[in-house]
Chains A and B, each alone.
Chain A
Amino acid sequence: EVQLVESGGGLVQPGGSLRLSCAASGITFSSYWMHWVRQAPGKGLVWVSRINSDGSSTDYADSVKGRFTISRDNAKNTLYLQMNSLRAEDTAVYYCARFEYHSGYYYFDYWGQGTLVTVSS
């Protein structure tokens, strides 16, 4: 059974830092691109960042570029999101998700349960 389990969320003051983790099991983690997607309370889904299978290529949404860093440890089957200089608008549930490739198309087929990050003083 595929499982993605996020951890590391919590309450942090503006300007603070947090590191999220996403532990994968039941999949060949090192074969897949992985993403972070967030959802502010009562709002829609927003893509945050992605990393390729070996960790050599990353991309970020403009809203987090320069503040967030995505990384992975394939030996530990774990994805990370280092979040620095946090702002109130970063408050959201953060999901990790696997990017599946099928017949030339990509889509998110497995998601974690989400971890809540609250930025507030």
Chain B
Amino acid sequence: DIQMTQSPSSLSASVGDRVTITCRASQSISSYLNWYQQKPGKAPKVLIYAASSLQTGVPSRFSGSGSGTDFTLTISSLQPEDFATYYCQQSYSTFLTFGGGTKVEIK
């Protein structure tokens, strides 16, 4: 199976900060990388698909980049509603795998 490693596992940031989360795949996955946001008690919500495509309705402060094995999710200016846990997920393989998650907390 393809292993997905996210870093950091948690971070503290303030409203207005620029936040970057990284995701590394154990083998090349081209651009088959998606990002999700999950709030407590809620189902995940897709933010970015195909590494850099913004899902309809998602604010433009979210962006994704990367290809091959290294990927980045960036929040350009953190808003109060962005405090949540973020997961990357590869769809290159039949056996889908998620990163371990990055919890973004209020500083």
Given A103-B50, A109-B46, A44 contacting B32 (CB threshold 8 A) = no
Residue A111, interface by CB 8 Å: yes
For A44, list chain B residues within 8 Å (CB): 87, 98-101
A45 touches B32 (CB 8 A): no
A59 touches B50 (CB 8 A): no
Looking at chain A's contact residues, the main secondary structure is: strand
Choose from B36, B44, B49, B99 the contact partner of A102 (Cβ within 8 Å): B49
Give, as a whole number of angstroms, the nearest-CB distance from B17 to chain A: 24
For A102, list chain B residues within 8 Å (CB): 49-50, 53
Residue B91, interface by CB 8 Å: yes
Residue B106, interface by CB 8 Å: no
Interface residues, chain B, with chain A CB atoms under 8 Å away: 31-32, 34, 36, 38, 43-46, 49-50, 53, 55, 87, 89, 91, 94-101
Interface residues, chain A, with chain B CB atoms under 8 Å away: 35, 44-47, 50, 59, 61, 95, 97, 102-109, 111-114
A-B contact pairs, 7 of them (CB 8 A): A45-B87, A45-B89, A47-B97, A50-B94, A102-B49, A106-B32, A108-B89
9 cross-chain pairs, A with B, having the tightest CB-CB distances, nearest first: A111-B43, A107-B49, A105-B50, A47-B96, A107-B34, A45-B98, A106-B91, A44-B101, A44-B100
